[in-house]
Amino acid sequence: MDRLDIDLGERLVPYGEGARLQDAVHAAVVSGRRRSTIIALEHEPVYTVGRRTHSWERPKGDIAGPDRVPVVDVDRGGKVTWHGPGQLTVYPIVRLAEPIDVIKYVRALEAAVMDVCAELGIPSTRIEGRSGVWAPGRPDDPRGPFFRAERKICALGVRVARGVTKHGIGLNVSPDLDAFALDRIIPCGIDDAGVTSIAAEVGRPPGALAAGALADGVVAALEDRLAPLRAD
């Protein structure tokens, strides 16, 4: 697979710029002009709204506007989430082998993230009926109530068009988790579970870890897990 890192560690990429690049790469993979490609970047703050989002799940209050966080409707599955500083966003643009199995593809993305978490010594899991990767809760966790319940560490939303995937994962490395607060959005349509990050799980403050520092490991895990599903 090819790889495109968009100025990781150097600048935050506006969502529109990332979306245009994703569309261009997708078109090139569909036409056969390039191989399957993984795009890795860190976005400027943005809320993206998937096709399954209900009106009451959209960003709340006065958070949109020229000086605030933009809200963008997108063509992926899933509901509303946030992208921004401290989150590694990865878009695998992959030509899938026939017969196409979207669920198997989603499970491969989740497995890749779980591989990365395991390398970092962070327990992670799937939850039936809920996409993404989660840190499991422990009723006796001495770190406090936040860690005693399940909490999402990586959001996931995809689309398959003309046999090629779009969108992907948002791995929370070290973002300000206030962006996911319930008075702003209902993250992924889930109001009974929290959102966490790699930094939070290892006891580091927001901003303490560079999102781009995990890119090599995440891309390698994705290449490994997606290899059996690719057509090129």
- 155 annotated ligand-binding residue: yes
Is 218 annotated in some ligand binding site? no
Question: Is 82:47 a contact under the CB 8 Å cutoff?
Answer: yes
Determine whether the annotation assigns residue 81 to a binding site: yes
Of 146, 145, 111, residue with least CA distance to 131: 111
Asked whether residue 157 is marked as a ligand-binding residue, the answer is yes
Phi, psi of 39 (to 5 degrees): -100, 130
Count CA atoms closer than 13 A to 123's CA, side-chain side: 8
Q: Is 82 annotated as a binding residue?
A: yes
Q: How far is 44 from 57, CA to CA, in rounded Å?
A: 21
**Which residues are part of the catalytic machinery?**
188
State the DSSP code for 67: T
Q: Is 170 assigned to a binding site?
A: yes
84 is in an annotated binding site: no
Binding residues, by number, are 76-83, 155-157, 168-170
Detail the residues annotated as belonging to a binding site for substrate: 76-83, 155-157, 168-170
